[in-house]
């Protein structure tokens, strides 16, 4: 499959770490290769939890041989304990990518949402619905961590592929993204007209 790029997306977390692998062809069509969630018990020692996350990521890389790794960038939240665990899992993911000689990048949640839905403030259900549509799945991936990992992988693959010379943002969207953005524009216009 010449020109196909395989990306491992990681939604880092200690309790649930989403992992998703997609193949993206030069026409920006995505195909699901693998999706799953690495789980660790909240009451286990932090070292054991990080080791379990590392083992899970290494297993996915060994089995599916991605060309690149994309990790969701950690952002500040109210719960600093959660942020710390997410940051530690993110560091483990980036370390493992480096160990395997794989290029790695981080993307913010708003970058990822904008890439797959056309809207940087989309909610989790919108992301899950678009992932199902883009990857032609019968149902949205569950739990949300799994869908987020696939969204991160698609975001990275599309950004890495680059739009064709001078193409505008709308030209870089998939048909599903364009339809979603058009529907949102119509809804916003309707709401403004009724106000």
| CB distance 40 to 167 below 8 Å | no
Residue 167 has pLDDT above 50, yes or no: no
Give the lowest-confidence range in 14-28, 60-74, 79-93, 143-157.
79-93
| CB distance 30 to 134 below 8 Å | yes
Confidence (pLDDT) at 84: 86
* Topology classification of domain 5-194: Nucleotidyltransferase; domain 5 (3.30.420)
Please give the angle made by the CA atoms of 17, 22 and 23, to the nearest 5 degrees: 160
Confidence (pLDDT) at 183: 61
43 annotated ligand binder: no
Domain ranges (residues) in the chain: 5-194
What's the order of all strands across the beta sheet hosting 5-11? 30-39, 16-24, 5-11, 68-72, 104-107
111 is catalytic: no
- Selecting among 111, 145, 182, 184, the annotated active-site residue is 145
25 is catalytic: no
pLDDT tens, position by position, 48-103? 999 999 999 999 999 999 999 999 998 766 567 678 889 999 999 999 999 999 99
For the full predicted model, state whether its pTM sits above 0.85.
no
72 annotated ligand binder: yes
Residue 166 has pLDDT above 80, yes or no: no
182 annotated ligand binder: no
């Amino acid at each position: 499959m010449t020109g196909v790029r395989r990306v491992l997306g990681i939604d880092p977390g200690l309790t649930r770490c989403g992992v998703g692998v997609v193949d993206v062809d030069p026409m920006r069509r995505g195909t699901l290769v693998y999706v799953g969630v690495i789980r660790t018990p909240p009451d286990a020692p932090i070292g054991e939890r990080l080791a379990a996350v590392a083992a899970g990521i290494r297993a996915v890389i060994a089995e599916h041989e991605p060309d690149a790794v994309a990790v969701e960038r950690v952002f500040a939240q109210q719960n600093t304990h959660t942020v710390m665990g997410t940051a530690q899992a993110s560091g483990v993911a980036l370390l493992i990518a480096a160990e395997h000689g794989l290029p790695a990048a981080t993307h913010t949640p708003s970058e990822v949402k904008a890439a797959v839905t056309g809207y940087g403030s989309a909610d989790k259900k919108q992301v899950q619905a678009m992932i199902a549509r883009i990857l032609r799945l019968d149902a949205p991936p569950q739990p949300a961590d799994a869908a987020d990992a696939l969204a991160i992988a698609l975001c990275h693959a599309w950004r890495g592929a680059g739009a064709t010379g001078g193409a505008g943002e709308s030209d870089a969207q998939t048909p599903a993204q364009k339809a979603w953005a058009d529907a949102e524009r119509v809804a916003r216009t309707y709401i403004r007209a009724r106000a």
